[in-house]
Amino acid sequence: MSNHVDSMAGAAVTPPQRAAVATARRMAAGLIDLLLPPRCPGCGMIVAGQDRFCVECWSGLDFIVPPSCARCDLPLLQDAGPEATCGACMADPPPFERAWAPLAYGEQARSLVMRLKYGRRIGTARLMADLMATRLGARNGPEPLLVPVPLHRWRIWSRGFNQSALIAAHLGRRFGWSVDVDALQRVRRTDPLRGLGRTARAKEVRGAFAVPAAARARIAGRTVLLVDDVFTSGATARACAQALRRGGAAAVEIAAFARVIDGRGGGDAH
């Protein structure tokens, strides 16, 4: 009997067997959808498939489209070419080469961010990464090392996870890029940035990040793609980019799920 089983295990799977397995998987998926139907990640309404929005929530997403600043991804009023930058980046060039964000931070983007960070809907991180991939697909240059914006250890202990690290992990699997969650550390605790102005934000995060000695060899000469959920004033991105450049990174780019644009609901963004 044992020899018969062994020979069956080593036998090639026939087309009818493949068809039977495929049918069983479809039936199982249909049963799961019946018992736990997929829901819109924005409002919770039952939808046709996993990670799909209802029509109302999809129409409420404010996608960033060209033309936008070649450095910080701020939408521009006029198309002056792919290398055009906004006035702020011209006056004070950021320490990062490029920022990428698929969405302007508005009601729907905020809802997804809140569900992930405070509602502990960690599956939302995959959806965010998928939307971010639509922008990162246009990226050129050397393969980057993905580094999430770090949280202070007290924040991780209270929340249980770092949302930026979850997003980075999904992006890494999507593109086949390496992820290093320990390449950058938050060396001191900072107060929440919500409600602070641009100058106050920059002051609060100044010197808050550093590359540990053990990670310097891993980022030396690399292009680092810093991953965050929301790009607000750019204060955190600037502080992290400066620390990464001091730690040996050749270049730093930013990947965020949403970008705050003045006048579009960014007052409560972190």
Token digits of residue 11: 């036998």
Distance CA 239, CA 97 (A): 14
| pLDDT above 60 for 208 | yes
Q: How far is CA 30 from CA 25, 56, 116, 127, 131, in A?
A: 8, 25, 27, 21, 26
SS3 103: strand
b (16+ CB within 10 A) / e for 92-128: eebbbbbbbbbbbbbebbbbbbebbbeeeeeebbbbb
Contact 246, 213 (CB under 8 A): no
| pLDDT above 80 for 101 | yes
Average pLDDT over residues 235-256: 97
Domain extent listing, the chain: 2-35, 63-259
Weakest-pLDDT range from 25-34, 122-131, 148-157, 230-239? 25-34
- What is the pLDDT at residue 196? 64
pLDDT: is 269 or 135 the higher one? 135
Average pLDDT over residues 191-219: 85
Weakest-pLDDT range from 1-10, 27-36, 127-136, 221-230? 1-10
Contacts of 194 (CB under 8 A, 6+ apart): 268, 269, 270
CATH for the stretch 63-259: 3.40.50
- Summarised one tens digit per residue, pLDDT across range 1-42 is 444 434 444 456 787 777 777 776 766 655 555 557 888 888
**In a 10 Å sphere around its CB, with 0-12 CB exposed, 13-18 middle and 19+ buried, how is residue 67 labelled?**
middle
Instruction: Report CA Rg, the chain.
Output: 22
Q: How far apart are the first and last CA of the chain?
A: 65
- What is the pLDDT at residue 8? 41
Residue with tokens 């690399």: 222
| pLDDT above 60 for 93 | yes
| pLDDT above 80 for 270 | no
Q: In degrees, to the nearest 5, what angle opens at C-alpha 165 toward C-alphas 215 and 145? A: 45
**In a 10 Å sphere around its CB, with 0-12 CB exposed, 13-18 middle and 19+ buried, how is residue 16 labelled?**
exposed
Where do the H-state alpha helices sit in the chain?
A: 2-10, 15-35, 55-59, 87-91, 107-117, 124-136, 153-159, 163-175, 198-205, 216-219, 235-246
Model pTM? Answer: 0.83
- What is the pLDDT at residue 269? 54
Contact 223, 249 (CB under 8 A): yes
